[in-house]
Amino acid sequence: AKADGKGTWRLFEHGLYDAALQRMALRTGLDRALANGEFELHYQPIVELQGPPRVAGYEALVRWRHPQLGLLSPAAFVPLAEETGQIGPIGTWILRTAVADAASAGFGYVSVNVSASQFSGGGFVETVRGALSDAGLSPDRLVVEITETVFLHEASADALADLETLSLLGVRIAIDDFGTGYSSIGYLRDVQFDLIKADKTFVDRIVDLAEHERLLRGIVHVAGTMGITVVAEGVETVAQRDLLRDMGCAYAQGFLYSPAVPLGQTGEVRAVIEKG
Ligand code: C2E
Ligand code: CA
Ligand code: CA
Ligand code: CA
């Protein structure tokens, strides 16, 4: 499969299935996918913007190598797995695999997306602790990425308690897709975030839309006063990178540097980025 994503997400292009059939097939398939080893993690580098380009860490992004449908993007199955509860065991696999990969490949850190429902029913902190100790990875080399849906979910009280415990352990917490919700700023009071991931929809237009540029500049400033680091997502052009660097944004992630790639390619990708 090509790493740039073109031609890899075949599911919706064929139009062979109607939506309901597709959901049913995927749902049944999800039950077997873990046992059959059909999930893969790909890793996208997160690059330092101030100073020479250096890969600080990687975000783990899940893919499903479906036996009939080919490589599926998370958009095709993560929301479904969240609805059915299947994200529980899948999420545990993702966390354990990402942490083990980070230890074996020597990533600066690994950033893992965690769904709101993974905090339900307790046990999330123990899962994280177990993954770190089994892999021998120091807690400060793990970032847990959550979105504001965590605050809207029925398990939000559990989530807040878990995030506080993880923080005390030294795990860092990121708020993902920042700026896409309605009251993102308010959540900065509820959790001690270490990182803000400024959504791609912001970054997309900072060069041609003064409002977006000013808003992002404001976020970088406010974050700075709170000791929070900003990561810009979806950086695709040199002009975007330069603007982000000049406004003091610390990290960037995007196709300008690299898409998410299989673990075996991360060393090569890093070498290219750091050569400048
Ligand atoms: P996200 O966490 O916001 O991840 C960023 C998405 O943007 C990724 O899509 C990434 O490949 C894509 N991206 C990165 N840079 C660029 C760029 O420069 N241009 C463009 N056009 N896209 C870029 P992906 O891998 O398809 O993931 C989509 C979403 O699925 C993620 O959004 C996240 O919400 C969810 N997801 C992915 N992996 C996991 C996981 O392991 N667990 C959970 N719960 N959700 C996941
Ligand atoms: Ca993310
Ligand atoms: Ca994001
Ligand atoms: Ca996003």
Q: Is pLDDT above 50 for 1?
A: no
The bound ligand whose nearest atom lies closest to the alpha carbon of 60 is 1
Beta-carbon neighbour count of residue 6 at 10 Å?
9
Ligand sitting nearest the alpha carbon of 95: 1
Distance (Å) from CA 200 to ligand 4 centroid: 6
* Cα–ligand 1 centroid distance for 61 (angstroms): 6
Strands 261-262 and 55-66: unpaired
Which tens digits make up the pLDDT trace of 137-160? 999 999 999 999 999 988 899 999
Question: Which of these, 100, 1, 7, 26, lies nearest to 60 by C-alpha position?
Answer: 100
Which residue's alpha carbon is nearest to atom 38 within ligand 1?
61
Evaluate whether 40 touches 33 at the Cβ level (below 8 Å): no
> What's the mean pLDDT in 114-120?
94
Residue 210 Cα, ligand 4 centroid: separation in angstroms?
A: 21
> CB within 6 Å of ligand 1 — which residues?
44, 60-62, 73-75, 78, 94, 113, 115, 176-177, 233-236, 253-255, 259-260
pTM of the model: 0.93
Higher pLDDT, 120 or 95: 95
Four-CA torsion 73, 43, 159, 232, nearest 10 degrees: -100
Adjacent-strand bridge partners of 46? 57
Token duo for residue 242: 């330069």
Say yes or no: ipTM exceeds 0.95.
yes
User: Ligand 1: distance of its center to the CA of 76 in Å?
Assistant: 12
Among 145, 144, 127, residue whose Cα is nearest residue 135:
127
Stretch 153-180: mean pLDDT, rounded? 94
Between 80 and 2, name the one with better pLDDT.
80
Q: Say how many CA atoms lie within 13 Å of 119 toward its Cβ.
A: 26
